[in-house]
Amino acid sequence: MDTPQSTTTHKTYQERGYCSRPGYARIRAVLRACCWLYNHSLEQRKNTYLSDGKGMTLYAQMKELTQLRKEQQFWQDVSVQAARGVLKRVDRAFKAFFRRVKAAEKPGYPRFKPHQRYQCLELSDVSPGMVKGNCIKIKGLPVIRIRSHRRLPDSSQLKALRIVMHGHVLTVDLVYEEESEPLAPVASVVGIDVGVNERMTFSDGKTVSRRMIDRSRETSLQQAISTKKKGSNRRRKAVSAYARERRRNTVRNRNECHQLTTAIVRKYQKIAVEKLAIQNMSRKGGSRKRGLNRSMMEQTWGVLFQQLRYKAEWAGRQFVEVDPRYTSKTCSCCGEVRKEKLAVYRVFVCPACGHTEDRDVNAAKNIKERGAGLPTPYNAGGNPPRSRRESAEKDILVQLSI
Ligand SMILES: [Zn+2]
C-alpha cells in the first residue's frame, strides 16, 4: 500500500480562556450587543421580504453595518470582524433555511434569539496578529489569556476564531488550516456496532462498556434550584452551579470519546459503522419511546462518529457509514435473514446454518463486511442462499449511491 498523501484540513483547537473580572463583563456586554444586531438584521431581512418581496443579501447588510458604525460609537469601538461575524451567522441561518425548503424538509425559519442564549462571538476574518503567544487581542474586547498544554500551529495559519461563554467558563476555539499527518497504513478492517447494552461492539469480539453517568450530584443541584425564589441571587448561583456540573460531565465524556477514537483510528485502516439517523430514534424526532431515549442519547454515538470521521481523515484512514438495514438480523456466516423482532433474542442463532453468536458481534461482522465491500463467504458448495444474493445486490446499490 502507498503512503497516503497529506492534505490540508481545518482543525479546531479549543482552549479555556481567562480574563479579568471587568473583562468578563465587557464580553457579556459585547455579546448582548451582538445579539441585538443578530435580531435586528433578522428583522430587517424579514421586513424587506414582506415589503419588496425580495430577500436581502449578506452584502446589502454589510453596507448597513458600515452605516451603523458611522452612527454608533459602540460599534466603532468593537472589531468590525466581530460584527461581520454576526451578519454571516444570520446569512448562514437563512441559507440553511432555504436548503431545507428546497429539500422539502421541515423548513425551520430562523428565530429571534434571547440574549441568554447568544453566547458565541465568531470571527471568520482574522488577522494573524490577534493571537500572540498565549494572548488573544481583539479590538473592543479584553485581553484573553489561554493556557495551552499543547503547541499551537503558527498564527499565520489561523483561519477563524470563536469566543464562547459557557456560563462562567470562557472558551476560545482557534481554527487553523493544517497539513494532515497520515499514519503508516495497516491492513485491518473493523466493523463497529453501537448499542445501549454495550456502547460499542467490534467485529473482532471486543466491546466498550456502556457509559454510566453518576447523576446523584446533578440531581441534588437541580433540586437545590427548585427551592430558591425566582429572580433571586441564590437561585442564580444555584443555576450556575448546576450548569458547571453539566459542563463537567460533557467535557469528561468528550475526553473518554477522544481516547477511544484515537485508539481505534491507530489500530484499523478501515472503520465501518452503521449510518444512524440518531435524531429519528430519540424523542425529538417524534419517537415516543421515552425510556429508551435517555439511555441511548447518553451513549453519544454522534460524538464518537464525528471524532472518528475527522481523525480517520487526518490519519489517512477510511471511515465509512454503511446501510444499517438488517445488520442485526442477518447471519454473518451464511447470510440468512432472521425474521423475528429484535427484542426477542440477545444471542443470534441462525435458522439456516445453526451459527450461534452474540447479537452485537454478529451485527458488527455484517457492518464490517458491508464496509469492506467484500463478498460474503458462502457455505461451502451449492448456490448461495437467496436472501444473501438479495442483500448482496442491495449492498452494491448502497456502494453506488455513496
Ligand atoms: Zn447462517
| Per-residue pLDDT at 141 exceeds 70 | yes
Closest CA relative to residue 58, chosen from 41, 72, 79, 43: 41
| Per-residue pLDDT at 236 exceeds 70 | yes
Q: What is the mean pLDDT of residues 299-322?
A: 89
pLDDT on residue 346: 79
> Do 150 and 241 have their domain in common?
no
Closest CA relative to residue 136, chosen from 34, 18, 231: 18
> Do 274 and 366 have their domain in common?
no
Q: What is the mean pLDDT of residues 64-82?
A: 94
| Per-residue pLDDT at 3 exceeds 90 | no
Q: Which three cell numbers stand for residue 327?
A: 445488520
pLDDT band at 397 (very low <50, low <70, confident <90, very high): very low
Residue 385 CA to ligand 1 center (angstroms) comes to 10
Residue 328 CA to ligand 1 center (angstroms) comes to 13
| Per-residue pLDDT at 313 exceeds 60 | yes
Please give the radius of gyration of the chain, using alpha carbons only, rounded to the nearest integer. Answer: 26
Q: Could you report the per-residue pLDDT of 277-310, keeping only the tens digit for each? A: 655 565 555 555 555 577 788 888 889 999 999 8
In a domain, residue 111? The reply is yes
Q: What is the mean pLDDT of residues 68-82?
A: 94
Q: Could you report the per-residue pLDDT of 176-217, keeping only the tens digit for each? A: 998 888 888 888 889 999 988 889 999 988 899 888 888 899
* 44 Cβ neighbours under 8 A, 6+ residues apart: 56, 61, 64
Cα–Cα distance, 176 to 150 (Å, whole number): 14
Residue 200 CA to ligand 1 center (angstroms) comes to 23
Q: What is the mean pLDDT of residues 383-392?
A: 40
Rounded to 10 degrees, what is the CA torsion of 226, 232, 233, 238? 10
Residue 271 CA to ligand 1 center (angstroms) comes to 24
Residue 368 CA to ligand 1 center (angstroms) comes to 17
> Do 18 and 150 have their domain in common?
yes
Cα–Cα distance, 276 to 253 (Å, whole number): 20
Residue 397 CA to ligand 1 center (angstroms) comes to 23
Counting every residue written for the chain, the total comes to 402
| Per-residue pLDDT at 332 exceeds 80 | yes
In a domain, residue 261? The reply is yes
| Per-residue pLDDT at 246 exceeds 70 | yes
> Do 114 and 17 have their domain in common?
yes
Domains held by the chain: number:
3
Q: Which three cell numbers stand for residue 397?
A: 446499490
> Do 66 and 167 have their domain in common?
yes
Domain, as residue range, for 68 = 8-179
In a domain, residue 395? The reply is yes
Alpha-carbon 253 to chain mean position: 13
pLDDT band at 389 (very low <50, low <70, confident <90, very high): very low
298 compared with 23, residue with greater pLDDT = 23
> Do 159 and 24 have their domain in common?
yes
pLDDT on residue 380: 30
The average confidence (pLDDT) of the chain is: 84
Which amino acid, one-letter code, is at 242? Y
Which amino acid, one-letter code, is at 88? K
pLDDT on residue 115: 92
Rounded to 10 degrees, what is the CA torsion of 41, 43, 45, 49? -170
144-146 and 135-136 strand pairing: antiparallel
Q: Which long-range contacts (CB under 8 A, 24 or more apart) does 44-49 make?
A: 45/90, 45/94
Q: Which three cell numbers stand for residue 214?
A: 453518576
> Do 64 and 198 have their domain in common?
no
Q: What is the mean pLDDT of residues 82-99?
A: 95
Residue 336 CA to ligand 1 center (angstroms) comes to 5
Q: What is the mean pLDDT of residues 78-97?
A: 95
pLDDT band at 2 (very low <50, low <70, confident <90, very high): low
pLDDT on residue 167: 80
Residue 381 CA to ligand 1 center (angstroms) comes to 14
Q: What is the value of pTM for the model shown?
A: 0.77
> Do 193 and 173 have their domain in common?
no
> Do 144 and 253 have their domain in common?
no
> Do 251 and 216 have their domain in common?
yes
Residue 307 CA to ligand 1 center (angstroms) comes to 34
Query: 190 with 155: CB under 8 angstroms?
Result: no
Closest CA relative to residue 389, chosen from 375, 400, 373: 375
Q: Which three cell numbers stand for residue 151?
A: 503547541
* 148 Cβ neighbours under 8 A, 6+ residues apart: 13, 15, 134
pLDDT band at 94 (very low <50, low <70, confident <90, very high): very high
> Do 267 and 358 have their domain in common?
no
Q: Report the 3 state secondary structure along 89-144.
A: HHHHHHHHHHHHHHCCCCCCCCCCCCHHHCCEEEECCCCHHHEECCEECCCCCCCE
Angstrom CA distances, 189 to 140, 206, 402, stand at: 51, 14, 19
pLDDT band at 384 (very low <50, low <70, confident <90, very high): very low
Percent of the chain with pLDDT over 70: 86
In a domain, residue 336? The reply is no
Closest CA relative to residue 90, chosen from 18, 40, 141, 32: 40
28 compared with 374, residue with greater pLDDT = 28
Cα–Cα distance, 165 to 25 (Å, whole number): 11
In a domain, residue 184? The reply is no
In a domain, residue 237? The reply is yes
pLDDT band at 166 (very low <50, low <70, confident <90, very high): confident
pLDDT band at 385 (very low <50, low <70, confident <90, very high): very low
User: Ion ligand 1 — residues with CB under 5 Å?
Assistant: 331, 333-334, 336, 350, 352-353, 355
In a domain, residue 246? The reply is yes
Q: What value, to the nearest 5°, has the Cα angle with vertex 77 and ends 76 and 82? A: 85
Highest mean pLDDT among 24-28, 272-276, 317-321: 24-28
Within a 10 A sphere around the Cβ of 307, how many other Cβ atoms? Answer: 19
